[in-house]
Each structure stands twice: as structure tokens, then as C-alpha cells.
Amino acid sequence: MDGFLSGFFPECAWRSESIRRRPASAWRRNVWDANHHYAFPAWTPFKWAFATAFDLTICIQNGICAFAVDQQQLFREAIRVTRSGGRVMFSTYTSQFWEHRLEWFEIQSTHHLIGEIDYQETGNGMIVCKDGFRATTADRQSFETLAASLDVIPCITEVDGSSLFCEFVVP
């Protein structure tokens, strides 16, 4: 997903030189041209420009952490752009997926897409690189806390020992 995000949201392209060379405005224009009835967020400042309320808003593959924004604000914004009675879904990784996730980051580090991994600081769901990059994950408790703070009732489901989904209906 980080590769996908790097293509559409250059702010998420931490180390990719090929993405950095292309101006952010060009990516947004291409996305808007390809999907003229959708708008993608400009992350600074964090506010989506959607005027339409969606039936379903999805933030997958640990976007809740990868976007590096306030998680409560991200939940609030997902609620704002989703119609009453619509659904919001977030996903992250489970702790059982740790070895696969770490291996994926090691491959990225080998190809210089991220910095060298700091194995002394890496653990408990967090991958830390010596250049300051940090990849975190959410867990069941953090989803429950975020949902409770915004008065929504989450349905939290683990899938195949790899993903944790938090879904709720917008009041």
C-alpha cells in the first residue's frame, strides 16, 4: 500500500526519488482527471474537499498509521465525509503478521526506499529506521478507544491472522 500511496499521495513517499521528482500537483491532476467525480486529500492541512457524503469510506492497509496524522482527526474526517447510515472501515495488521511485515520493510530498506532498520528500537508493532522513519500499527484497543471518543460502535474483526478491521456505521 505504501507504494500505492506514494503514487497518489507524494507526501507519503518518504524516500522514493522517482516519486519526488514528479511534482505533487501533477499526481493530483492525474488522479482527478482519471476519477473526475472523486477528490483525493491534500494532507496539509488535513481536510478532505468532499462535498458529497459517501456510502462507504475505507482506509485500508494501516493507513490510520501510515498517513502520520492525528488518528482521532482521521476517524472524525471519515465520519464527516460518510452519509448518516453509511459505513466506515479501517484496517491494520495483527501482531501475528509481524514477521511478514518486518520482512517487507527489510526488502524496502535493501532497495533504499526507506533507511536502514534500527533493530534495537524495532519491536512491539513498530519498525524504526536509523533515518527517523517510524512505521507503527493500530490495535484492537486503539480502535475501541477512537470509536468510543466519537460515539460510534465498532465491529472489530480479525481476518486470517494478518489483518484487523474496524467497521462502524455513521450515526
What global pTM score does this model have? 0.68
Hey, how many other C-beta atoms are within 10 angstroms of the C-beta on 50?
Answer: 16
Q: CA-CA distance, 145 to 130, in Å (whole number)? A: 31
**Bridge-based pairing state of the strands 54-59 and 82-93:** parallel
Residue-level pLDDT, tens digit, the chain, 171 residues: 333 333 344 444 333 333 333 344 433 333 333 433 333 444 433 455 555 688 999 999 898 998 888 999 999 989 988 999 999 999 999 999 999 999 999 999 999 999 999 999 999 889 999 999 899 999 999 999 999 999 999 999 999 999 999 999 999
CATH code given to domain 49-169: 3.40.50.150
Using CA atoms, how far apart are residues 26 and 23, in angstroms rounded to an integer?
A: 6
Indicate the domain borders of the chain: 49-169
